[in-house]
Amino acid sequence: MTSIMASVKRLKFYAIAVFFLWVKTYVLYKICFNIESTNVLQEFILMINPLSSSILILGLALFFREKHREVMLIGISFVASLVLYFNVLYFRFFSDFITWPVLFQTSNAQDIQGSMTELMGIADFLIFTDVIILLLLSVKGSIPLVVSKKSDKGFIFSLALLLFFANLALAQVERPQLLTRSFDRELLVKNIGMFNYHAYDLYLQSESKAQRVFADSSEIIEVKNYANAKYKRANPDFLGVAEGKNVIVLSLESLQSFVINNKVNGEEITPFLNDLIKESYYFDNFYHQTEQGKTSDSEFIVDNSMFGRDSGAVFFTHATNEYHALPEILGKNGIYTSVLHPNNKSFWNRDMMYQALGYDKFYDIDSFDVTEENSVGWGLKDVDFFEQSIDILKSQPEPYYSKLITLTNHFPFELEEEDRLIDEYDSNSRTLNRYFPTVRYMDRAIEVFFERLKEEGLYEQSIFILYGDHYGISANHNKAMAMYLNKSEITPYDTVQLQRVPLIIHVPGQTKHEVNHTVSGQIDLKPTIMHLLGLEPKQDIQFGTDVFSENRQSLAVLRDGSFITEDYVFTENTCYRKGSGLETDIAHCEPFLNKTMQDLDYSDKVLFGDLLRYYQEH
């Protein structure tokens, strides 16, 4: 103890910096990241986990010459504060923590600048208060950083490692197999700390890169056998109903199911979609399955019937993979394929990824007349986008498969006064308040699109698939969401249920319409679309099931390991009874746990190993 106190006295400036970073990280856990504990041990782990990384990171300054140590210590403190702040900004919208792939998605930086500005607050400068204090102490020179013994460096790093392994041991007691649950980033941060999580994430990303190098063609056989075993044949009533017709897919930005057939301030939020549902097949238990890739994740899942990554975006990290995607398959069957999206072609690396997926044409921002007058938020307004898309659709060879991706209903949900068809909601969440008018505007835009299609004679010769791409309102707005839904609180069960997004399949001329309650997800759309077009992908590798197939298993697996069945919801290691939302014996959920993990593991094996490059060999 005497030795420790002597070292602390010699390293007073360093010790102050460590204390600041440690306490600041813990405070941010509680205030900005809303990390909760259910017992004393969890809270103790949460409190101590920033300490070892603070000691280790700031200890790097001690390896510089004595005259540079204070400057380096302040510099490292500033960089560590930036890491925390970037995570705070990211968490405010996505309720998630940054991963290394996200950091390297620099081509999106300019496009998201407006959203980031919306997330910033004047009080954020407090995160850098300790850096300012350290700078003042350094200028004053009253507490110099002096290392008078060579053993101090060894002592510091030994102490950091000792604390880390003690922290890890306690975390393993509290949460067994912690490091195998890499898809649960909050769990990792909660137990090993923010900076240790980022180090572990770097290891995981390096490991995933290595998987491709060491993969071989034999691995595809096991995956193919698994996929074939779960394949369900098409329902004869729906097989080929779209054959010879155009397929128009609408990817609806940030549209969640809770607004469907619902009102705000006494006004319908989605009047057109509500009416369209009455003339369509509507799936009210359909879930988005995206993670950090958001819209690009939904595109990948729909086109491949595979899961995206648990971190980052496949569109960036695996654009050079071989795929057996829906556009490629349709192209080989004489169907022209395209994407219409009035954004920069490089955003989400779409220009590269669309080639890998086999699309014939990408109509990006250069294909549209985009002006300051017809733009808001992230770009071209939805009404103008749909209006201008008519001529593009008319110019395409038929039959075609075209996906249109909307923009207006995107965070921060900006809308000009002239386009507001309903008033904002009144709650403590500006984001939720503004969400309703932009959803209403998108609904009107879709109505305009259908009207124009009918005028141009394109409606009767097409079928329509409309789906929400991902959530619009994150868990950071739970208090306001609970108020809107008339609930006392939003539980983990409610959070999963809020991941439902609309799926509407509209076939002009069909007299049979229904609300289908089967539990399904975006991963099920590829086999569904193929069956509607009369194609049966018996030997295709896919992890979804046609939503119309008879005897399909009613199940949706989310990327974080949660899943939903007809009767139960499993999330955060807890089993809930569907409907009541009450916790129940985990034994009810256990029969589905193995399949959930197999789906995720096999999909990851195909993706990280680039196994589809061996597809033709078997």
Question: Helix 194-214 vs helix 12-31: angle between axes, to the nearest 10 degrees?
Answer: 80
> In this structure, is residue 104 part of a structural domain?
yes
Mean pLDDT across the stretch 163-189?
Answer: 77
CA distance 101 to 117: 22
- Grouping H, G, I as helix, E, B as strand and the rest as coil, residue 414 is coil
Model pLDDT, residue 157: 84
> Cis bond leading into 412, ω under 30°?
yes
CA distance 254 to 431: 12
| Sign, CA torsion 185/188/189/193 | negative
238 and 158 belong to one structural domain: no
333 and 416 belong to one structural domain: yes
203 and 225 belong to one structural domain: no
> In this structure, is residue 169 part of a structural domain?
yes
Angle at 498 between CA 493 and CA 503, to 5 degrees: 130
Look at residues 211, 228, 261 and tell me which one is the last residue of a structural domain: 211
More confident residue, 400 or 181: 400
Mean pLDDT across the stretch 310-338?
Answer: 91
143 and 175 belong to one structural domain: yes
pLDDT tens digit string along 428-474? 999 999 999 999 999 999 999 999 999 999 999 999 999 999 999 99
Task: Report whether 392 contacts 404 (CB < 8 A).
Answer: no
Query: Two tokens at 200?
Result: 């572990």
15 and 83 belong to one structural domain: yes
Residue 541 identity: I
Give the distance, in angstroms, between the CA of residue 85 and the centroid of all CA atoms in the same chain. Answer: 20
519 and 393 belong to one structural domain: yes
Q: Which domain holds residue 69?
A: 2-211
> In this structure, is residue 359 part of a structural domain?
yes
More confident residue, 350 or 336: 336
297 and 398 belong to one structural domain: yes
Look at residues 157, 183, 211 and tell me which one is the last residue of a structural domain: 211
Model pLDDT, residue 443: 98
Task: Report whether 185 contacts 97 (CB < 8 A).
Answer: yes
Q: DSSP readout, 85-131?
A: HHHHHHHHHHSS---HHHHT-GGGTTTTHHHHHHH--GGGGGGGHHH
| Type and span of the H or E element at 360 | none
CA distance 263 to 449: 23
Report the DSSP pairing between strands 462-468 and 503-506.
Answer: antiparallel
In 3D space, the residue among 172, 174, 130, 157 whose CA is nearest the CA of residue 25 turns out to be 130
207 and 228 belong to one structural domain: no
Q: Which residues pair with 563 in a beta bridge?
A: 557, 570
- Judged against a pLDDT cut of 90, whether residue 606 lies above it is answered with yes
CA distance 170 to 191: 9
In 3D space, the residue among 566, 616, 559, 558 whose CA is nearest the CA of residue 591 turns out to be 566
More confident residue, 177 or 465: 465
Mean pLDDT across the stretch 375-403?
Answer: 94
- Judged against a pLDDT cut of 60, whether residue 40 lies above it is answered with yes
> In this structure, is residue 199 part of a structural domain?
yes
Counting beta carbons within 10 angstroms of the beta carbon of residue 229, is it exposed (0 to 12), middle (13 to 18) or buried (19 or more)?
A: exposed
Look at residues 159, 186, 211 and tell me which one is the last residue of a structural domain: 211
CA distance 309 to 289: 11
148 and 234 belong to one structural domain: no
Give the distance, in angstroms, between the CA of residue 47 and the centroid of all CA atoms in the same chain. Answer: 28
> In this structure, is residue 234 part of a structural domain?
yes
191 and 238 belong to one structural domain: no
For residue 539, give the CATH number of its domain. Answer: 3.40.720.10
pLDDT tens digit string along 143-162? 655 554 666 778 888 888 89
Model pLDDT, residue 618: 43
- Grouping H, G, I as helix, E, B as strand and the rest as coil, residue 107 is helix
Question: pTM of whole model > 0.85?
Answer: no
pLDDT tens digit string along 62-100? 888 777 788 889 999 999 999 999 889 888 876 778 877
266 and 201 belong to one structural domain: no
pLDDT tens digit string along 223-267? 999 998 888 999 999 999 999 999 999 999 999 999 999 999 999
Phi, psi values for residue 515, rounded to 5°: -95, 120
- Judged against a pLDDT cut of 80, whether residue 504 lies above it is answered with yes
In 3D space, the residue among 595, 551, 543 whose CA is nearest the CA of residue 227 turns out to be 543
CA distance 527 to 544: 7
Beta strands in 341-468 (DSSP E): 361-363, 375-376, 379-380, 400-405, 462-468
Domain count, the chain: 2
> In this structure, is residue 320 part of a structural domain?
yes
Question: Looking up tokens 């980022």, which residue turns up?
Answer: 198
Helices (H) and strands (E) in the chain, counts: 22, 19
CA distance 292 to 478: 20
- Judged against a pLDDT cut of 90, whether residue 407 lies above it is answered with yes
From the candidates 25, 290, 295, 565, give the one annotated as an active-site residue.
Answer: 295
56 and 10 belong to one structural domain: yes
pLDDT band at 338 (very low <50, low <70, confident <90, very high): very high
pLDDT band at 581 (very low <50, low <70, confident <90, very high): very high
Q: Is 129 a catalytic residue?
A: no
Give the distance, in angstroms, between the CA of residue 605 and the centroid of all CA atoms in the same chain. Answer: 20
Model pLDDT, residue 207: 66
> In this structure, is residue 618 part of a structural domain?
no
Kindly report which listed range (411-415, 496-500, 521-525) carries the lowest average pLDDT score: 411-415
